[in-house]
Amino acid sequence: MKQKLSLLFIPQEKNNYKSLLTHPSFLGIFIAVYLLNQSLIRSFTILKPGVLGYSSEITVQKVIKLTNQERQKNGLPQLVYNQDLASSATNKAKDMFAYNYWAHNSPSGKTPWDFFKEIGYDYSTAGENLAKDFYDTDSMVKAWMKSPTHRDNILHAKYKEIGIGVVNGTLNGVKTTLVVQHFGLPLNLASVSNQQNPPNDLNSESPVLTETQQILSQENSAPLISPLQISKTLGIIMFTILILAMLTDGYITMKNKTKRLAGSATGHISFLAIILMLLLFSQQGSIF
**DSSP states of 5-73:** HHHHHS--GGGTTS-GGGSHHHHHHHHHHHHHHHHHHHHHHHHSTTSBB------HHHHHHHHHHHHHH
Of 204 and 233, nearer to other proteins (C-beta) is: 233
Of 185 and 230, nearer to other proteins (C-beta) is: 230
Q: Is 260 in the site for other proteins (CB under 8 A)?
A: yes
Of 218 and 286, nearer to other proteins (C-beta) is: 286
Of 106 and 231, nearer to other proteins (C-beta) is: 231
Cα separation, 190 vs 265, whole angstroms: 69
Point out which span in 65-73, 165-173, 183-191, 272-280 binds other proteins (CB under 8 A): 272-280
Residue 265 makes CB contacts below 8 A (sequence gap 6+) with 246, 247, 249, 250, 253
Q: Is 143 in the site for other proteins (CB under 8 A)?
A: yes
Is residue 13 within 8 A of residue 5, CB to CB? The reply is no
Of 204 and 283, nearer to other proteins (C-beta) is: 283
Q: Is 270 helix (H, G, I), strand (E, B) or coil?
A: helix
Min dist CB 163 to other proteins, Å, is 22
φ, ψ dihedrals at 83, nearest 5°: -65, -35
Point out which span in 86-94, 152-160, 162-170, 237-245 binds other proteins (CB under 8 A): 237-245
Q: Is 98 in the site for other proteins (CB under 8 A)?
A: no
**DSSP states of 62-130:** HHHHHHHHHHHHTT-PPPEE-HHHHHHHHHHHHHHHHTT--SSS-TT---HHHHHHHTT--EEEEEEEE
Min dist CB 151 to other proteins, Å, is 12
Min dist CB 138 to other proteins, Å, is 13
Min dist CB 270 to other proteins, Å, is 6
**CB atoms < 10 A from the CB of 170, how many?**
19
Identify residue 272 by its one-letter amino acid code: L
Binding mask 32-61 for other proteins (x = CB under 8 A): --xx--x-----------------------
Of 43 and 270, nearer to other proteins (C-beta) is: 270
Q: Is 174 in the site for other proteins (CB under 8 A)?
A: no
- 286-287/174-186 β-pairing: unpaired
Cα separation, 174 vs 172, whole angstroms: 6
Cα separation, 163 vs 82, whole angstroms: 6
Q: Is 104 in the site for other proteins (CB under 8 A)?
A: no
Binding mask 194-233 for other proteins (x = CB under 8 A): ----------------------------------x--xx-
Binding site for other proteins (CB under 8 A): 24, 27-28, 30-31, 34-35, 38, 143, 146-147, 228, 231-232, 235, 238-239, 242, 250-251, 253-254, 257-272, 274-275, 277-279, 281-283, 285-287
